[in-house]
A = this chain, B = another copy of it.
Amino acid sequence: MELKTEIYLGDSRDELARIPTDSVDLIFTSPPYADQRKSTYGGVSVDDYVEWFLPITKELLRVLKPSGTFILNIKEKVVNGERSTYVMELILEMKKQGWLWTEEFIWHKKNCFPGKWSNRFRDAWERLLQFNKTKTFNMYQDAVRVPVGDWAKNRLKNLSDTDKIRDNAKNGSGFGKNVSNWIGRETVYPTNVLHLSTECNNKNHSAAFPEGLPEWFIKLFSVEGDTILDPFMGSGTTNIVAQRLNRHSIGIEILPEYYEMVRRIVEPVQLTLFDLKNENYDSFDERRYAVR
């Protein structure tokens, strides 16, 4: 298998037309937030944001496979002491386009920005909105199981009486649990809250999000050989992680500096891969890191 990482220089509003209909398994992106990153992206104003974004989401709806998923990392900024509503307006408009809004994950930023204001605390979370084309999307939950917490070690040593039987919830929801089912389990399924730090290593570029973020969603919503798309590539985090996880990927970036930077990272790997066609791919990871 040859792993393809295609990157395009240009505006997503134009470049997305080059991608075939129903061809992408997962879209993971973090668009420039309204009025942020002005120095690099020029900044889309809060008032124009929805109108600016909707033509892109329309194209994304076209290129996504019916079984695919669109994860949108976004957060509304504070304007005049109030949270803006452009994210809500965007969701409402995307539903009109035909998107299903299926879930909202929370990224808890463990090391959020410091600061002190009289009327608000530090902002330590961002939204990861999940949209789908159909209700029967692919989800590979076992790929993101996490080690069972320490609570289990203590809890399971001495099971209480209620732990040994099914203990139904008090609120009549019909939910219940039988804690003894956990005996022997090493891993559990995660929740819809992700605890990740923003990256702060010594790279010479600033990633908007840590690699762990796209990694989690790529594992959850795709398998090896699938195609991942990031229409706001930036420093290429999504594509680099996709490549490491043996997924094809497509990236679109409007700024030449970022485009060139990602190209220098991504191309050597593809050349290497081409030469390695018949070799064992287990060694791929180390090779990639060596190149980078």
State the A residues within 8 Å of B (CB).
39, 80-83, 85, 88-89, 91-92, 95, 100-104, 106, 108, 112-116, 118-125, 135, 137, 139, 141, 169-172, 175, 177, 189-193, 205-206
Contact = CB atoms under 8 A, between A and B. Distances in A.
Contact of A192 (B104, B125, B170, B189): B125
B102 A83 contact: yes
A124 B192 contact: yes
6 contacts: A82-B100, A82-B101, A121-B141, A121-B189, A124-B193, A125-B191
B108 A83 contact: no
Contacts of A193: 108, 124-125
Given A81-B100, A82-B135, A106-B108, 10 more contacts: A39-B172, A82-B101, A102-B119, A106-B125, A115-B175, A121-B189, A121-B191, A122-B189, A123-B192, A171-B206
Given A108-B193, A125-B193, A206-B170, A102 B88 contact: no
Nearest to A182: B114
Contacts of A103: 83, 120
Number of copies of this chain that the complex holds = 2
Contacts of A172: 39
Which of A114, A169, A206: most chain B Cβ within 10 A?
A: A114
Given A101-B85, A172-B39, A119 B137 contact: yes
A34 to B, nearest CB: 15
Contacts of A121: 141, 189-192
Contacts of A106: 106, 108, 125
Contacts of A92: 85, 88-89
Given A119-B135, A120-B192, A193-B125, A113 B81 contact: no
A264 B106 CA distance: 40
A267 B213 CA distance: 51
A89 B161 CA distance: 45
B104 A83 contact: yes
A169 B112 CA distance: 12
A85 B81 contact: no
